[in-house]
Homo-oligomer: A and B are copies of this chain.
Amino acid sequence: MAARSTRHATLHEVAREAGASKTSVSRYFGGERERLSPPLQQRIDEAARKLGYHPNQMARGLKGGRSRLIGMLVADIRNPFSVAVMHGVEQACHEHGFSLLVCNTDNDRHQESAHLALLASYRVEGLVINATGSPGGALQALIDQGTPLVLLDREVDGVAADVVGLDNPKAIDMALAHLAERGYGELLYVTEPPEEASSRQHRMARFQARLDDYGLLGESLSLPLKGSTAALHDAIAAFLSRPGPAPKALLCANGKISLAVTRTLQTLGARLGETGLMGIDELDWCELVTPGITTLAQPTEALGRAAVECLMQHHRAQPAPPRHLRYQPVLIPRGSTQR
């Protein structure tokens, strides 16, 4: 592989061209223009422009120890929820003068630690983590090095860091209240394997714990969404055909589940509304599928921005006790919970 001879102008060259010292040029680009005399400023500006000079961040980072990079680990980049959060993260990063290095792990442990090592090697100054569960050593290493850290949506075993996410108990309570009020009596909670994410555990646990309080019957179904949906199909069919007087409803733990469940219900020929359907995560299509699917929308942008704010605070002050930022969902009632 022939080395590319990418010709980038250097500080040195600009200095020579402008008849100034490297220091002055450095000051000019380092946000200390005021300290330079107008004529000098002009000469530097001209020289830089002529040479097409851009400060080399690598060199800057090396010297100052500030990479100006924030790293983000995303469990599943093709999940619209993740993307929306990421959008918030990116915005906030730029507002604070940082850039974002995003790594998608596709929910895979190996990629997780590999990417963590990568982010470490670029000396990211902060980390937003939305990961499977226990990236283990790789993560701990970053922490030991003193990299500020925020956990997003998912807590990680043994890692004491700020957590930003949905108020999961509240979300489940809102769902139960809504379904009870709409007259559904028997529920099926569908989730992906809870072991993989703390938010899944919290939601499911709350569901089980609060059913009684709302006078509801219910059970949970946990299953992976890879490959065949036969299992899902069978389980839902069984649930719906079970005798019982109370109207039945399905509660979906997240957007991916909502999609799979909606598909299944269509296959089964169920009438939405008559069979209740509700899901956490608001998606484009929820209002499109007749008669509209009731959802609990997460404040995705806010979550992303909050994560970055946490990072910035860690940046200023040293260790603080880990906080837990829980955001409220917004209920969007639609026809799927209208009997």
Q: Which residues of chain A (62-118) have a CB below 8 Å from chain B?
A: 62, 65, 67, 77-78, 80, 83-84, 86-87, 90, 99-104, 117-118
**Beyond A84-B78, A289-B288, A290-B290, is A318–B2 a contact (Cβ under 8 Å)?**
yes
Residues of B within 8 A of A315 (CB): 1-2, 4
Residues of B within 8 A of A290 (CB): 266, 289-290
A284 within 8 A of B: yes
A263 within 8 A of B: yes
Which chain B residue has the least Cβ–Cβ distance from A122? Answer: B57
A59 within 8 A of B: yes
Contact of A58 among B62, B78, B101, B262 (CB under 8 A): B62
B285 & A288 in contact (Cβ 8 Å cutoff): yes
Per-residue CB contact flags for chain A residues 231-265 toward chain B (1 = under 8 Å, else 0) read: 00000000000000000000000000001001100
**Beyond A6-B145, A146-B7, A287-B263, is A1–B316 a contact (Cβ under 8 Å)?**
yes
Q: How far is the CB of A292 from chain B (nearest CB, A)?
A: 10
Per-residue CB contact flags for chain A residues 20-53 toward chain B (1 = under 8 Å, else 0) read: 0000000000000000000000000000000010
A186 within 8 A of B: no
B52 & A56 in contact (Cβ 8 Å cutoff): no
A192 within 8 A of B: no
Interface hub of A8, A67, A122 (most chain B Cβ within 10 A) = A122
**Beyond A52-B144, A121-B55, A146-B6, is A77–B86 a contact (Cβ under 8 Å)?**
yes
**Beyond A57-B121, A77-B87, A102-B102, is A6–B147 a contact (Cβ under 8 Å)?**
yes
Q: How far is the CA of A82 from the CA of B80 in the complex (A)?
A: 12
Residues of B within 8 A of A54 (CB): 117, 120-121, 141
Which chain B residue has the least Cβ–Cβ distance from A141? Answer: B52
Known: A8-B145, A266-B290, A283-B285. 18 other contacts (CB 8 A): A2-B316, A2-B317, A4-B148, A6-B145, A6-B147, A54-B117, A56-B62, A56-B121, A56-B123, A58-B58, A62-B62, A78-B80, A90-B104, A259-B285, A285-B285, A285-B289, A288-B288, A289-B289
Q: Give the B-binding residues of A (Cβ under 8 A).
A: 1-8, 52, 54-59, 61-62, 65, 67, 77-78, 80, 83-84, 86-87, 90, 99-104, 117-118, 120-123, 125, 141, 144-148, 259, 262-263, 266, 283-285, 287-290, 315-318
